[in-house]
């Protein structure tokens, strides 16, 4: 049978095209986190809900034995608004506790020059802004902590807001969502995983 000997060239070309097509479909902004299946980095950050003049801190260790979400947010973050109804829904359905990590609320806002503020002034402004935002939009968080200079977020490999980490009972990160949680990720990925981890 006279088989065309150049058929394999065509096959190689087709394979290359498939490779490129797959590459086109990938989102280069979504960088897989190396922290998946690793212990969530420890931190101790001031709580947003602490009464004025008092410092109360929170760390991931406080959540031992619970499956919980760590959600990175900021009042200047537009995509956080988009994600907000999903978080509210999770809170209302009591799916799991959500801890908010408020990321550079003042320093990250290009409209504010924080370089001349004292840390106290900045903290007061962050609290005022964050509380106003939560009062206006609704508060989906069991509590929020303040990462004013973003160092804890660097520890978590945060490079854009919002980002969300699902952490299991032993304090291990099991899932990371980069960008807003969509109804699809909630239904198809988060909910089954949460159920499995709670078992």
Partner 1 sequence: MKKAYPGIFLFLVAFFASGIALASEVQQRVTDPVTEKRLHAIAGELRCLVCQNETIAASNADLARDLRREIRARIASGQSDREILDFLTTRYGDFVRYRPPLNPVTLFLWFGPLFFLLAGGVILRRYLKHRQRVLQAAPPLSVEERRAAEALLAAPPDAGNPS
Distance CA 36, CA 44 (A): 21
What are the angstrom distances between the C-alpha of 165 and each of 19, 71, 198? 30, 6, 16
Structure tokens at 7: 């058929």
Q: Which of residues 152-191 bind partner 1 (CB under 8 A)?
A: 154-157, 159-160
Select from 29-37, 52-60, 130-138, 191-199 the region that touches partner 1 (CB under 8 A): 29-37
Residue 107 three-state SS? coil
Nearest approach, Cβ of residue 33 and partner 1 (Å): 7
62 binds partner 1 (CB under 8 A): no
Select from 43-51, 83-91, 127-135, 144-152 the region that touches partner 1 (CB under 8 A): 144-152
Nearest approach, Cβ of residue 5 and partner 1 (Å): 10
CA angle, 167 as apex, 188 and 159 as ends, to 5°?
Answer: 85
Identify which of residues 86 and 152 has a Cβ nearer to partner 1 in the complex.
Answer: 152
Torsion of CA 121, 123, 127, 133, to 10 degrees: 90
Nearest approach, Cβ of residue 124 and partner 1 (Å): 20
Answer yes or no: are the C-beta atoms of 69 and 99 closer than 8 Å.
yes
Identify which of residues 24 and 28 has a Cβ nearer to partner 1 in the complex.
Answer: 28
Element housing 70 (H / E): strand 68-73
150 binds partner 1 (CB under 8 A): yes
Nearest approach, Cβ of residue 159 and partner 1 (Å): 4
Q: Which of 7, 53, 65, 115 binds partner 1 (CB under 8 A)?
A: 115
Q: Which of 14, 15, 31, 196 binds partner 1 (CB under 8 A)?
A: 31
What phi and psi, each to the nearest 5 degrees, are found at residue 66?
A: -125, 150
13 binds partner 1 (CB under 8 A): no
Distance CA 199, CA 143 (A): 24
Binding site for partner 1 (CB under 8 A): 28-29, 31-35, 38, 104, 108, 110-111, 113, 115, 149-151, 154-157, 159-160
């Amino acid at each position: 049978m006279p088989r065309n000997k150049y058929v394999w060239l065509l096959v190689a070309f087709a394979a290359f095209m498939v490779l490129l097509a797959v590459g086109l479909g990938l989102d280069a902004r979504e960088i897989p986190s190396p922290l998946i299946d690793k212990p969530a980095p420890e931190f101790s950050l001031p709580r947003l809900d602490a009464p004025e003049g008092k410092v109360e801190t929170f760390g991931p260790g406080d959540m031992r034995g619970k499956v919980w979400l760590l959600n990175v947010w900021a009042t200047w973050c537009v995509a956080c608004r988009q994600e907000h109804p999903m978080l509210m829904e999770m809170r209302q359905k009591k799916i799991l506790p959500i801890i908010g990590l408020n990321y550079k609320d003042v320093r990250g806002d290009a409209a504010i020059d924080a370089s001349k503020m004292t840390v106290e002034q900045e903290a007061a402004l962050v609290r005022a802004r964050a509380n106003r935002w939560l009062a206006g939009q609704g508060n989906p968080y069991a509590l929020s902590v303040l990462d004013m200079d973003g160092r804890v977020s660097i520890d978590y490999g945060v490079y854009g807001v919002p980002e969300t980490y699902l952490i299991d009972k032993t304090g291990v990160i099991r899932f990371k969502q980069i960008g807003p949680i969509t109804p699809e990720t909630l239904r198809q990925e988060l909910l089954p995983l949460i159920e499995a981890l709670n078992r």
